[in-house]
Amino acid sequence: MSRTTDGLANAIGYAFDDPGLLDAAVTHRSAGSHNNERLEFLGDAVLGHVVAEWLYSAFPDAPEGQLSRLRAILVKRETLADIARKLDVGEYLRLGSGELKSGGFRRDSILADALEAVLGGILLDGGFDACRDCIHRLFAGRLDGLSAADELKDPKTRLQEYLQSRKLALPVYAMHTVSGKAHRQQFVVECRIDALSTATTGNGSSRRKAEQAAADNMLEQLGVSR
């Protein structure tokens, strides 16, 4: 780790009474037995609870299915990793030599797990209210940007509806490349709209995720509001 965790505590906006909890939260299992896996377990649970409670109040008319999909948007790996990057969590990670060499400090899964572990550490250090306040601060912008009507639709569905509303043919998705070992493959998919002579690519840990990413990039390229 190249930087003191004091900087991370400042970025999060929470002062730990027990700094050891934050040190543990940024320690990946590759770095030793005293790592963040147990804290991640706690953080995942409290994050799901707080987000569910928040959505229940923010969308009083939304049925259970919609609330579940909204929660999935907020707590998915990509969202957590993006928040972690904004906090520079990768700069504070303690990784084993193998993960350091492979760029683990940039990997979505490691960043997302570390953020959940940090939340677990705050829960233990300051209690539920302190943890809830921190989650509200970190996720406020994400919640404000959600729409119960539009954001529930995945990018492929939104792109399809956009094209249909303009009487254009549906996009064509084609596999571009597959790389990596069997247990950690990365897929790159092309999304092509022949009628508009345009194409985008997206990558993900599965073909479905790569297609969704490609569709999301296409929506951005077309200037469709997210």
Name the residues annotated as catalytic: 44, 116
Strand partners of residue 27: 94
CA-based torsion, 40, 42, 45, 47: positive or negative = negative
HEC readout, 11-68: HHCCCCCCHHHHHHHCECHHHCCCCCHHHHHHHHHHHHHHHHHHHHHHCCCCCHHHHH
| Backbone Cα Rg of the chain | 19
